[in-house]
């Protein structure tokens, strides 16, 4: 047994279902049932349970960003200024609120609050280097509380995935 979210126990069949869905979320319960040697009703019930428990958060298509004209990826480190002082008032800024504001920009794929010398890590895909620069200068740096940024352009991507490597014994 493996212990996960909300004290729910996942058995080998649950993990097998999750592995198959990670590879192809368009598989039907019938196709999955055949692969893991389980009744369709059981597979369907297990999937519904994992959806309700939000172990399965959502289903989506993974698009080829380059074929769609979004050929450049950048990771941007941002430093947050936690307080500002005006003549009349002192306000504190929340790292979480700033991260939420950044996450609303359509160019942004990921926003992470991180440890270390920087506070926030941002993943952006856009058409070209100029578009990334425009995003940083005209959008990101205008967010209240952003003190400085460091942009790392991606030269190549040998691996990019959303898959979680689940432990799985062979099912026969």
First to last CA, the chain: 18
Question: What pLDDT score does 82 carry?
Answer: 74
Look at residue 90 in the predicted model and tell me its pLDDT: 54
Residue numbers of the domain that contains 24? 2-52
Within a domain: residue 149?
yes
User: Does 165 reside within a domain?
Assistant: no
Structural domain contains residue 62: no
Reported as a single tens digit per residue, the pLDDT across 133-152 is 999 999 999 999 999 999 99
Q: Is 83 found in the same domain as 146? A: yes
For the entire predicted model, the pTM comes to 0.84
Q: What is the pLDDT of residue 158?
A: 96
How many C-beta neighbours within 10 Å does residue 130 have? 10
| Beta-sheet strand order (sheet of 120-126) | 108-113, 120-126, 72-80, 146-153
Same-domain status, 86 and 124: yes
Indicate if 148 and 81 belong to the same structural domain. Answer: yes
Asked whether residue 48 falls in the same domain as residue 77, the answer is no
Both 80 and 47 in one domain: the answer is no
pLDDT at 83: 64
Assess whether 104 and 144 both reside in one domain.
yes
DSSP character for 90? E
Quote the mean pLDDT of the chain. 90
For residue 37, give the CATH number of its domain.
Answer: 1.10.10.10
CATH of the domain at 109: 3.30.70.920
Q: What is the pLDDT of residues 50-102, one digit of tens each?
A: 999 999 999 999 999 999 999 999 999 999 997 655 555 556 789 999 999 99
The residues with which 24 forms a beta bridge, in sequence order, are none
Count up the domains in the chain and report the number. Answer: 2
Residue 167, pLDDT score: 83
Q: What is the pLDDT of residue 3?
A: 47
Distance separating alpha carbons of residues 26 and 31, to the nearest angstrom: 10
């Amino acid at each position: 047994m493996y212990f996960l979210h909300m004290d729910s126990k996942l058995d080998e069949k649950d993990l097998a279902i999750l592995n198959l869905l990670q590879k192809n979320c368009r598989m039907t319960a019938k196709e999955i049932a055949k692969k893991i040697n389980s009744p369709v009703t059981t597979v369907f019930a297990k999937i519904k349970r994992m959806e309700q428990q939000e172990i399965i958060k959502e289903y989506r298509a993974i698009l080829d960003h380059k074929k769609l004209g979004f050929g450049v990826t950048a990771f941007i480190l941002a430093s947050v200024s936690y307080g500002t002082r005006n003549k009349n008032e002192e306000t504190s800024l929340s790292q979480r609120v700033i991260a939420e504001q950044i996450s609303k920009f359509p160019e942004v794929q990921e926003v992470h609050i991180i440890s270390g010398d920087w506070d926030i890590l941002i993943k952006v895909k856009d058409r070209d280097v100029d578009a990334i620069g425009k995003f940083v200068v005209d959008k990101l740096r205008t967010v209240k509380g952003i003190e400085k940024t460091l942009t790392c352009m991606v030269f190549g991507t040998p691996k990019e995935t959303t898959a979680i490597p689940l432990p799985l014994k062979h099912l026969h």
